Every structure is written in structure tokens, then in C-alpha cells.
Structure 1
Amino acid sequence: MRISLFLLVAAAAVADCYGSKYSSPSKRDLLVRSKRRWVLSTIELEEEKDGQYPMEISVMYNDKTQGKDFRFRLSGEGVPDVFTINENTGAVFAHKKVDREQKPLYHINFDVLDRNTGEQLDKELAFDVEIQDINDNPPKFSFPEVTVNVKENIQGSLLPVTLVVTDKDKENTANSEFNITMVSQTPAEPKIAVQQLPGGLAKLTLKGCFDYDKATKYTIVLQAKDRGTKPKTQSSTAVVTLNIVDANTHQPRFKQRQYNGEAIEMETIANVLRVAVEDKDTPNTDAWRAKYSIIAGNEEGIYKIETDPETNEGVLSIVKKKNFERTTSINLQIGVKNIEDIFVCAGTNPPTDRANVTLKMIDTNDPPEFEKAIDDMHLKEEAEPGKVLFKPKVHDVDSNIIRYVLLTDPADWVAIDTKTGEIKSTKRMDRESRFVDDENVYTVVIAAIDDGQPPATSTCTVRIHLTDINDNTPKLVNNSAVMCGNKVNKVKVHAKDLDAIPYSGPFHFTLGDETQKQQWKIEPDYGEEVSLVSQKTLPYLNYSIPLVIMDQQGIAGLDTLQLTVCQCDENDVCRDREPLSTRLGPAGIGLVIIGLLAFLLLLIAFFCKFGPDKILPQDEGNQTLIQYNQEGGCSPCMTEPNFVPSQVDNMAVTNGQMDTMQIDTEGPYDINGYNSSASTMFHSLGMHQQETYRSHGMRSMAGSSIYQRSFSLRSADRIEDHINRRCNEVDGNVVDHPTYQPHSYAFEGDGSICQSLDKLSFHDMGEDFKYLDDLGPKFKTLGQMYDEAIKKKKVQL
């Protein structure tokens, strides 16, 4: 479009009326020349115009510049990239091609200024430069390639395909107006057309029906072509692909018209018979999957047919038991169709395909039939055993010989007669037993077995309702309780009775001990739960309180409540008792020390008085006193056993130093000996009591001396024990002591010339032992020595 701009002349009144300094020149308008106004040549600019750039497109004038030194100035959009002005001549230049689709309009401003002062010589001139459009853009599809899945059984003329076309050229011109047409269709049938809609939209339409068996894919090429001619007509294409999805256009058909099978009566069978069908639709789709039904012959609902999802076969099953009096043939009619409804392009739907099934139901031995499968009877608990509780009524059309067995009797309370089926109690039944349910019912199950081949069995459940009696006494629910003595003075007591109403609560409570009434009371004394109240402050201890609890029928039970009275914390939990602790002062510590010292002194005195006696060795004289008057019996016939010194003290002194050595001495064991030893790393002490061996020795050498002493522990306080032990050894020991046995000697002819000592008479002495008081000086000396030793050792011979 060409825009012509001319000189604009406006008076001040006209300018004030419009209220603006801007002027938008109309196309090819000629403005009246007047003083102090702009003079502008026509500007024409076409998009994408060929030529040499910069290109002069217009020249500006202003009559107010006469006689003045001035210059032109250009500002606004596209300045200076697209538009510039020669400030001296007013020539306007375009520096490059412009695209209308990117910017259809440029708003620019013209000014004339005094070259010396820079002041405006006239008002600013503003105008819009509109770019002239050419047909340089084709209409384009929003999606050049479109793929859509279409069901084979689609109904209606419109297909689910929508196309959108746009053209960037100037709107409402031939350059932006277009037509959408179909270029090609493969395959050609059924006919597909394009329908153009306002707003650049287009739809595909179908005339006829798709046939999946003939074609599964259609390709349509569409063209959008505009109506512009300058410089040429523009167009574009799009390809639409239609993938046909198979639908149920083929009816499933049975492979056979007749199917046969057999089954046994009174049984449920999951797979009696299988039937198969053919379907030309795509496998594993709803158009191919079969759905079977029983059309006739199943009025009682005994049979059911289902589809096997893996094989698409129909599976016939028996879901209800039925007794046939004899072997019978059952005829069924079955039908099949698909999950998806059948589609027919023209005409009516075909009928459902059908087939016949014949089942041979084989008669078998029918089990005995109880008149009642579940029977109820009532009995008072703790009734005497031996009572007939139940006698069944059984019918069997195939057999008259029936035996009965007991299947369920958890408490072993009943027995059954195998011929008649009578149930008798064998024990007393307890309603409170764990084998009785919450409804006071004890359940027994019996079975009736006939003599058929194979034997048939049926069962009957006998529900024995036990009536309650008052056979239980009330008891405490909890025999222990805790009372927070620092908070309350009572505790809740709850009782229960295993019996039912009216043989249970509410109960009457009393104290079982009259002496407890001064300390406790019960309030209230009647109910399921009462309070035990203390009548005075109680120490924090454990209490046993006997209680008598009586039910509504006057049957009482005695129970004991173990009550703990304690100090509780804020959570009503007993606190642990704090341990008793004392603190000793100086006086107490002094008393303890004095007591320990007194005890130590007492212990020392006790050991001094009752401690072990000091063993004094009975040494003989060593080169000082020779005893010549020793008298004694004859030498023993047996050789004295070998002796080992029982105590050896070895002490060596060399150059003023003394060492103690440990010497281990071993020797033969003597039954008459006594041994004891104690040793440390540097000192050893051994005691060994033998017969009467004693020895002492001392040796002296130059610069050293050695002392050795060995003595027996045979002392006076052990003589009695030694004599008794020796007597026990000799008595009856013929083997070890043969010399002490009587010995017969040969008679030599004459008797002894000495009188027998038995014939001596001492009657004149009168059994007086006073003669022992004067036995001579020698005996008295010896007696005094032993008397002193005996008194000192306190040994009684």
C-alpha cells in the first residue's frame, strides 16, 4: 500500500482543538500550504524490496527555515538501523530490506532545529510508516504429519482428525486467504474427503465403512493453497495416516455342534467339559475373546460355563450337588458371543451361535441322610452321667445297615452306640468349662456310615445347651491390691462368679475375721465392686484381709486380699523404701575401737587358755647324764619300722650370715604315724609323728657352725590315743601280729617248782590301796614328775 504524505498546514486554533502535536497523514491526502508548516514528499516502502541500499524513499521540507541556518533530525522506531535523514537536504533513506511479518508499522518523528542554538524552529512532526505487504508466506499446517488410530466400527461421517492451517501474510487479503484440498488417498476405498471450517480448521469425513480385513492403514495427502499472486501463489501439504483398529466384525462359532461328557452325582466338578470356538478377529482383544452362556437345560443352576482366558475355550462345571435316583443324561444348550458387541456396516446383527451338550450323570451310593443336620437339646450342668442325650433319625434309600461314630467330643463327655447312634453322657458336664462356647453350648458331631461300595458318610451336629446351676462360689477378680496411704484410705475390691444370673452377683461382702473390724470396714457392702476402707492410719506394710463374698442365693466364698499400703508418687506408684542409714560420731567411733580391742584381748586370752598345748620334746641327756637304772620288758620280737625324722631344722651360719633352707624328706608311710607340714618359698616346717625316735646333733667347723635337731611329736597328751589305736590293731590281727597269739609248748614231765600266783592270798590287805602311798623314794620322784606334767596338760589317762 502506498502512503503519500504532504505538507501539513494547521493554524494554532486547529492545533489546540485537536490537543496534539502529532499528525497522522492519510493515504494520498494533499494538505493546504500555509506559513510555518512542514512540506513532506510521498514515502512508499514495500517489504523485501530489491535494490541498492541505502535507498532514498522521501524528502522533507519546512517553510519556516527560510533565511535561517537549520538542520533536520529524525527519531523514532527503526532509527538509525532502518531509517536515516540527511540533515541538510531532508532526504529520507532506507538502509535494508524490511519484513512486514516481523514489523508491519514504524512510528517516526521529524524535527527542524536551529543549527547554531539547537532550538526547534517548528513543531515536531510524527507519523506512522506502514510496510506494504507481498505474498511471501505460504499457508502452513500446524502438524505436517498426523497419525491417528481409528476403530474399524467407527460410525458417523466425521473422522477423529482435526487440521489447523495458518498464513502469516496480511489478514483479510488474498495473500492470507487459502483453500484446503485432498491431493491423494491410498487405498482409494472407502472414500475420504476434507471439510474446511472457518478459522483455518479442516476435518476429514468418511463415506462408508472401514474393513480391517481389507486394509489396516490409510494415507491421505492434503494441500493448503493461498489466493495471492504477487509475486506468486504459495502452498504447503500435510500427510495424514489412519491406522485401523480391528473391531468385532466376526461372530465366534463353535467348532462342533455336539459335545458329550459324564460326571458322578452328588459331586461338584470344576472341569467337566471344554468347548472351543473360532473367531477371525484379532486374537487377545475384546473382539476375539469369547463369552459363553447356558441357554437351556440349567433351570436349577447346577451347571456353569466360563471362559478360559488362556485358550478362549469354554469350561463347563458342576457347581451344585444333585442326587439322581439312577444314571441320567442331561441335555444343555450353550451359546457364545464376544465381549465386544458385533458390528455390521449395513444390515442387522447375526444371531448368537449355539451348540448342544449332553452330560451323563452316573448314579452312585447315596450317603445316609439325617432328618436334621443340626439338632439341639438341653441339659442341666453337673447332671448324673449315663443319660441318653440324643437319638438320631436317619434314612438311606440304598442301604439298611448303618453304623455310627463319634467325630467331635472335645471334653470326652459322651459316648455313642455304634448301632443305634444314641448319645449318652459319660461324665458330669460343666457349663464353665473351656469346651463350652459363649452361648453355653457344647457341640458334638456324629457320623452315619452305610455299607455301600464305597461306603457313604453323612454327619450331624448335636448342640447340647447346658443349663446353669449354682456350683461356683464368688471369688476376687484380683487377690492383690495397692493402697496409696499418703493419698487415700480405701481401695476398690471387685468380685466375680463363674455362674450366670441369678447365681452370681451382685454380691454381699463381709470381713472374714472379727478382729479386722477395728481396722477395716466395707462400704458399701453390696454390689459387684465395693470399697475396703481403713478406719485409722496404717503403717506402710503388707496386710492379709480375709473377705466373705456371698452371691444372690446365699452361697458364700472365702477369699483373702493381699493389700500393700505404701507411699505413692504423683503417678500413684509405690515409692521404694529408703534404706536406713546412721552416722557415727566421735564417741561412737571410740566405742567401736574399744570394743574391737576388748574382743582382741578376749581372743588372745582364749587361745592362751584353750589353745594347743606346747609340745615339749622328751630329750635324753647328751653326754651329761647316763641313766643306768632303766628297766623294762624284753625286746619286742618284731623289728622296729624305719623312721624318718618328722621335723628337721637345718641352720647354717657362715661368716655371721644365716640361711634357712627347705629340705623335702620322704620316707615310708607308717600306719602309726602322724604327719603335718607347711612350707613357703624360703622356709618350711614339717611335723611327722613316728614311734619314739629322738635325736639331736651339732657340728662345728672352722668359721661356721651347723645345728641339726630331730625329735618325735610323741607327747603325753597323745599317749591314750596311741594306746587305743594300737590295741585296735593288735586285736584280732593274726596276720600282722602272730607273736601275740597263745602258744602251746610240749610237756617236759614236771611242773614248775614255783607256786601259782593264783594261789597267793591277799585277803589280809582288805583291798586297801594305802600301800601305794609309800612306794619308796624312787617311785615318788617319778610320780611327781608325771603328776606335774598331767596337771599342766590337763590330760586324763
Structure 2
Amino acid sequence: MKSQEVGSMSHHMILWICVCVEIIFCACGESCFPPSFYATAPQEINAGHVLSKVYVVGCASQLKRVETSDPDFAIHLDGTIVALHSTEVPSAGRHFSVWAQDSDGRQSKMDVYISQKSTQPPKTGILRRFKRRWSPPPISIVENDNSGLSKDIERVGSDSSANHSVYYVISGPGVDKDPVGVFTVDKFSGMLRVHSAVDREEWPQFQIVVQVYDRFTNKETDLPLPLTVQVTDVNDNAPTFTGSLKFSVLEQSAGVVVGHVNATDRDETGTEHTKIKYTLLDGNDLFSIDAQTGVIKTRTATLDREVKDKHFITVEIRDMNGAPNGLFNTATATILLEDINDNPPVFSKTSLSVNVKENVEGETLLLRIPVEDKDLTKTPNWKSVFAITKGNDAGLFRIETDPDTNEGLLYLTKPLDYEKNKAVKLEVQARNEAELSGTQASWASIPIDVNVEDEDEGPEFMPANLTLRIKEGLPNGTVIGKYIAKDPETSSNTGIRYYEISDPASWIEVGESTGELKITNTVDRESHLVKNDMYNITVKAVDASAKTGTGTVFIIVEDVNDNIPLLPTHELIVCEKEGELGSVVLVAEDKDKTPFSSPFLFELRKPYEGEWTLSKLNDTAATLQQAGELPTGTTYTIPVLVKDLQGEGDTQTVTVKICRCQLNQCVASQTSTALGVGGILAMLLGLALLLLLCVLAAFFCVTGKDKPKHVDAHGSGGMLLKSNTEGPGEEVSNILIVPTSGIDQSVKGTAVDNGMFDTMNSMGVMNATSMAGAWQDSQQPFLQQSSDMLDMNSQHDFRAENNVFLLNQRDEATLQTWRTNGIYLDMKLNYLRTGEDGRYADDILHSYGFEGEGSVAGSVGCCSDQNPNDNLDFLNTLGPKFRTLAEVYNKK
């Protein structure tokens, strides 16, 4: 046991001596840091925790920059390792790298390994040493070692081997995890061996856990040791290209970036094994490449797409910074030249010509103009734009581009005239849609001769449109002008005949051989055929070869004072207004225009100067107003003198009616008749007739049987007797005779035959239809009431069938009776008495003081109640005088 302890102590002393030697060597050599450093820490590390300190005595002042690969830790220039953030140390340990740079620019690297401190209490019966921990020196192997034999790497040993008989067990990646079987350990000696080659690019390091057990108890005699085996990189991977190797650049560009070649290397980053140098193996006269970045640029401006639009160059990438022993790869990069408009369109010929007949219709294609352009087709650098720069002042031509062939298309837009111009010289320029770039060339032009071919033409009017100015009303036969045509070839008008094509009003005659224009009918500017004082005719000219030509004559018709202002001829309405004198506006019209029309002069002529006044309203109207109160319903014819601005005019009659209005329209008025001599005579005549009727009625009452006859004379009437009182007058018996109907159609000379039978729908009393001697009524209750009132004569048989009363005539003389008339009058009076006041306007009662002059009821003489047709329609339109009579009668 002592020998083992002594051996273990000697082993540790050798390790420490080596570390000290390395530290001293680093202090005096290239770096202040050792290649690797080991430290312990608790499982949880707080921010600011000092992990350990690397001794950099003697060279700390030479350090310029120190960086770590782990952002959780930092190292000061004095070698102190500090935790920047709170972090954890896994059971397998933690590893990071430190890079240092001194003032001379030399760089060095140190690997820091942190293992977890044990927090377990010491096991019973096992003596543990806490002041020192078993740990091997840094272990590394070279990748891709294909010697084919197992190799010893390093011996691991535990301090517990001094007190125990131990054996070692390893686990982890490379042992019992992928890649399995790479490492083994000698169970009793602790020698670590490698058995196969390892690819660093796949497994840059292995984290192996070494455990030590007592041989007899199989219990761990020490804490597990995390062991890191680094795989040292060798330059076994050549750099490879990444990304596309296709680039493009504008032609004629110098010093312009074409593209960026990208490459990568799988070997260890930061070493010469991954330091790549870029080289062009060809194309160096046109392009260059940056050796460190791989950026390709153009060298010259002579790159011409029209000469060569695509270039291929070979690029080499070599590691070891381009050293001859470096690994490399090559690839071909493709560079496309993009087009610029450095070539204008060029005409394939130096000049062009074309022949065209005169009078050819417009929009005719005359010529195709070919051009050549070396720029990229179907692009704005290639597409041509043509323009006529000379010779098209009259606008006879136009030009456009054929989108498929890029040719110019020259069109004729108007017919050409050989007699005016036998040839037209044009100049056409060709441009591109894009402006020129990278060239000193300019846009090209080409001359084009258009030769006009002659053909026999019809006569032409000179001018094509003739304008004449005449006054309206010129006498027939007046020559207003001459319109002649000439032969375009001979400039002669010999043998040309003239004819009218259009003369809507037949006002003008054209001389067949002379072309003179004469008035044949009176020209009226006010005609509807004259538009804006303009009248047009069309004339045709025919030469000896029957060729024709047409022309238009525009005749401006000047106004003369041939119209006087006219007043309206229809009846004008003067509406009565309460407390105002009625008036009406007279508007005069004059078909002439200024100065032969308005303003007008209005003057009222006798004999109405005392009843009406006339005042000017505006230039074309005057107001006619009552000078005093005039009778309603009277129509007046009033003479009014109207003159225009030139004093031309005449006296005209205006018809005016005074009436009551509703919505500015006359309504039926109740006439008021003054009782002059004629009125008194009419009243006396009515009174005499009334007395006669009373005598006749008494006679029939005395001589009648039980059932009196129903007799009605052909025409009767009644009137109210004049009373000195202001009341409604004396009671009047059933004296008004109302014609009736309902007789058989076979009877001639009766009321039916005289057209006296009519319906009473407007009064709502009856709806009777003449049916061959029958009455048919749709109002059954009314008929039932009427049948009770009828006192039929023995000479008449009445029977009711299906609401139809049938009356058979036995004696024509007895059909018309006063009794029958009284029955219908009684029915009418009762109906009106029970009707609503607002139902029929003419039936409203009107109170008045007396029935003399000024009474709105007028006369109630016998003749005023007679209907011209002697039918029953008057019952529907009887006015206030009938209502007054009804009121008097019903008081009985």
C-alpha cells in the first residue's frame, strides 16, 4: 500500500511539474495562457462568482484582448475567471475556450474544463480526501488515425487507489454510446485506449465518465471523473462552393460588382485548414475576384452584349490560405451581360418611294418601312417609335409601329389631289422607346417620296361651301349669287350643268347652265326650316362625261320687320277677388328679333277707357285691370293697340271674361239678373201661366174618378209670387210640372219618342233603364215607397215582377198627368230635404234679402226651369232657386 501511495504521489508531482513548466514556457514564449485549464465549481453558480485564476505572471502586461466562447463566463487580463450570469454546471462538466491576443498581434487559445464539486457527505468506512481530486492531464487524439492498431492514450488514476484495491469503468459517447467501441480502459491499470479512427467533423470531442470501484466491495471509492477527449483536426476536407454561380451585369460596365462566390470548409474554424483563398483561373482580362471575400468585378468597359452576351470563368477555392499543400476545388461561373440601348434602329435602305392614286380614301396603308436594331428584341431598347418629321403639315399621313416586325407602317389619312400636289416629300425618323446609352450614335431618318397619280375626276365647286347673306322677303326672281364648278383637269366650267339636290322650302332656283341662284318663293326667316338664321341648299354639277360633284350653299337670312306683335286670341279670365279689382296680363309675341320686336308699346282704345285700365308690365307684357266693379260672368271684347320698337303694329281685340275662380279656373257661377222691363214682363207672363195651371188642376180634380188621371202637358212651368216680405214667400202648391217617362215604345209622340227619358244617377234617386215599356230599378226600397204613392188610373195596369214595374198603356192621353209630375217633384223635394248640404254644391241654400236686382238666385219664372231637351237632367243641376222652392214647399 505504501508503494502504491508513493507511486501515486510521484505521478501527481510529475503532472504539476509539467503544468508549471508550461506556464513558465507560455510566459516566456508565444502565449501567457496554457493550452488547457481545469477548475471546479458548485452545480449552481451565481453571477459574479470567481471560478479560478490562471497564473499569467510576467506577461499580463502584454495582453491586449481576451475573449471567451461561453457568454456566461469572462476572464480578466490578470487571469481571473468570473461568472457573468447565474448558470449551472452539469454532472458531466462544462467546457469553453479562451482566445488571447498580445500587443504584437499574436493569438493563443486555452481550453477551460469545469467539473462539478461534490456535495455528498463522506461515506461511512471510506476515507476521502477533500483537499485534492484525482484528475488526468488534458487528453487529445488525432482524427482519422488509420494505423489499424489500438493505441494507449493516457492512464487515469484515483487517489483512492492508495488505500484501496480498485478497478476502473468508463461510459459515455465512444464507449457505450454512439460511436460505440472507440474507447476502452484497462480495468486495473486505468490505461485509456483508442481502437478506431475518428472524424473530427462528426465527433469533435468525447465526454467520458470514469468511475473507480473497490475490487472487493464493488463500491465507489471516489467521485466519478468527467473526462474530455479532444479530437485534433487535420486538413482532410477541401473547401466547397455554396450558392449559385450564375451572375449578370450591364454591358459596358467597368469596376462594377458582378456577384459573390461563396464557399465553406468543414475543418476546424479559425485554423489555416478553413482559411480559403479565391482565384480566377481564366477570364482575368475581363473580370477580377477578391482573394479573401470572393467578390467578382468587371475590369473593363469593353464588354459588349451584341458581340458576346455570355461569359464563362473558372474559379478556384483553396484552403491553407492558398498554400500549395492546401486542398482545393474549382467551378465554372456564368456571367450574363444585360442589354443597354447602345444601338439605335437603322433603316435597311437609304430612301423609299411609293405611288398612290388621287382621291383614294383615307386610312389606306401605303408603305412598310423596315429597320434593324441589334439590341435585345421585344425590349424598349429594341422597339421602334416612328415619327414624320417633314412634309406632313396638312396632316395627310400618319405612321405607327408593327409590334411584331418592328416595321414602320405609313398610312394615308386624307385623299390626295393631283391637281394641287403631284408629289409629297416626307422624312421619317426612327427612335427607340428607351433613350440611347453608352454610344455616340444618334437617331436615323429616311426620305420618302409619295407620288400622286392622276385620274379623271368630276367637277369641283369653287369654293366647296358657299356662304351668302340675304334679307328675308326678297321678291321672286331676285338673283342672290352664282355657284359654279370647274373641271379639275382643265380648270374650265364649259359644258357643266347644275341641279338642286336639296332645297327643303323650295325657295331657291339654280340656273342649269349658269349656276345662278334665284329666289322662287318668299324667304321667311321665321320659318321652322331656318335654324339660327341659316338655310342650306345642296347643288350638284354634272360634266360632259357624266361625272358629278356636289357643293353646299349656306344662306344667312337677315331679319326684316315683317311681323307685328300679336296678342293672344283665346279668351282670358279675370278672377274676382274679395276687395280687389280683377286684372289679367297681356303678353304679346313678335316673331322678329331685335331691333324689330320688343320693347312693345301698349295702348287701350275706346270704348272701354272708363271700365278698364292698361299699364306696361315689362318689354313684352302689359296688365289689363278693371277700373271699377263689373258684373260677374260678363264677357268683354277690348281693343288694344300694340306696336313694336319701330312703331309697327295694329289694334287687336282681347276677349276677357269676369268670373269666380277656383285654382285659377272659372267655376259655374250663380248669375244675377237685373230686373228691367224685360224681367218684369217675364214675371207677369209667368204669373199668368201659373194661374192658368191652377185652373186646369182644379178642373181635373173635379172631373176625375176615384183614381185620378195622371196627366202632364207637354211643357209647363212655375214661378214664385213676388212678396213684400223678406221671408221665403207664400206657400206654393205642387205646381211645377216634371216630365216623366216609362211609357211603351210603341206610342209615338210621347216623352220617350221625344228623347225625354234619362237616368237620375247624379241625384242618386233612380237608376232606370228603358226596356220596351218597362221600368227597371236597382233601388228596390225607393220603388216600393214610390209604388205606395202612385195613384194609378184605371186605364193603366201596373204589376211588379222581380223589382220591375210594368205599365201597359191603354190611353195615350192619360199617360202624362199632373199627378205623376207632383209625385216625382215630391220625391225630389223629400230627397233634397234629407240630403247633406255638402253633397251637391248647387243644392246649398242661399239666404238673400229680396228677389230683385242683385239677387244671386235670379229669376224663378216659368221659362227658367225648362230644359231644352225636356228631360229629367235638370233635376241634377237645379240651383239655389230650386232649393228655395223646395224649402217653401216642404214647410207645408
TM-score w.r.t. the length of structure 1 is 0.44
TM-score w.r.t. the length of structure 2 is 0.40
